[in-house]
Amino acid sequence: MSLFLIAEIGINHNGDLKIAKQLIKESKLAGFDAVKFQKRNIDKVYSKEYLDSSRESPWGSTQRQQKEGLEFGKSEYDEIEKYCKELNILWSASAWDLESQKFLRQYNLSFNKLASPMLGNMPLVKMIAKENIKTFISTGMSTLEEIRTVVKIFEQENCPFELMHCNSTYPLKDENANLLCISNLKNLFKCNVGYSGHETSLYSVCLAAVVLGATSIERHITLDRSMYGSDQSASVETHALKKMVNELRNVEKILGNGEKVITESEIIARKKLRVQIDE
């Protein structure tokens, strides 16, 4: 099974479609299989009190102005859909509310993403599971029992899914990645398990995840880590994406299929070196 690579653009476009398209293009050039965004109806996700509270940002001095500045609407997603088709790269978005998930349906996306904060949103979990579209389920901030509840819903709906081990710390220290959870989740839930990372290191954690059997990798990407935004520092800059993808694909080749056979290159050496002493 080929490793599936997702470039998480999220909200690192800072509300600028030109930046979004540049990130899509760089992801395609680097060899990612898909890009992903985040979709919110901010009045459904956040309380009025929170949105009216103060927050300095490039868009104003309130939380509402900041959230609205980062959010794409239909015209932007129409352009994203068109651009991704032109480049032949898949795209999706993780919805943070029911209306946003309904909004995304119009694009007939090839996969869904259930973000870690949403594992406790049972109406959203059930809505996504009922769509019967391959869903990547991030498991950050979740107990095994919470994951088990979500998995049961997807199994009941016969919806294909893949768990993604995740530590929802931004940025994540490498030593807190706890990648042995990948095999643990595989054994417990009998499914494919990927890795969604937020570390500052380039690809060492992701390489280890692939060695441990991760079937998908998701990493936040950015044009520049110093840009405005809470996710930028935990992202990989576009100039490094190609090297990252090459290293991950190379590890995939190195691991092979696990079958013990004599390779063609070994046959020559065997003829020269093999000692055969029968009793």
The tens digit of pLDDT for each residue in 91-150 reads: 999 999 999 999 999 999 999 999 999 999 999 999 999 999 999 999 999 999 999 999
Residue 206 lies in a domain: yes
The model carries a pTM of: 0.95
Domain, as residue range, for 206: 4-273
Backbone Cα Rg of the chain = 21
Mean pLDDT along residues 165-188? 96
Query: Which CATH number goes with the domain that contains 77?
Result: 3.20.20.70
Residue 278 lies in a domain: no
Confirm if 96 and 71 have CB atoms less than 8 A apart: no
pLDDT of the residue at 185: 98
Residue 279 lies in a domain: no
Q: How confident is the model at residue 89 (pLDDT cuts 50, 70, 90)?
A: very high
Q: What percent of the chain has pLDDT over 90?
A: 92
What does the pLDDT look like over 181-198, one tens digit per residue? 999 999 999 999 999 999
Mean pLDDT along residues 152-156? 98
Mean pLDDT along residues 46-66? 97
Residue 196 burial by CB count (10 A; 0-12/13-18/19+): exposed, middle or buried? buried
- Beta strand 112-114 with 54-57 is unpaired
What does the pLDDT look like over 199-250, one tens digit per residue? 988 899 999 999 999 999 999 999 999 999 999 999 999 999 999 999 999 9
What are 100's two structure tokens?
């946003």
Residue 47 lies in a domain: yes
* Region for residue 132 given its phi and psi (left: phi exceeds 0; alpha: psi -120 to 50; beta: otherwise): left
pLDDT of the residue at 259: 93
What does the pLDDT look like over 3-16, one tens digit per residue? 999 999 999 999 99
If one counts the domains in the chain, the total is 1
Please check the confidence at residue 1 and state whether its pLDDT lies above 80.
no
Residue 33 lies in a domain: yes
pLDDT of the residue at 54: 97
Please check the confidence at residue 276 and state whether its pLDDT lies above 90.
no
**What distances in angstroms separate CA 204 from CA 168, 174, 201, 237, one per listed residue?**
18, 9, 7, 15
Neighbours of 72 (CB within 10 A): 21
pLDDT of the residue at 68: 97
Residue 127 burial by CB count (10 A; 0-12/13-18/19+): exposed, middle or buried? middle
Q: Rounded to a whole number, what is the distance in angstroms from the first to the last CA of the chain?
A: 43
Average pLDDT taken over every residue of the chain = 96
Neighbours of 272 (CB within 10 A): 6
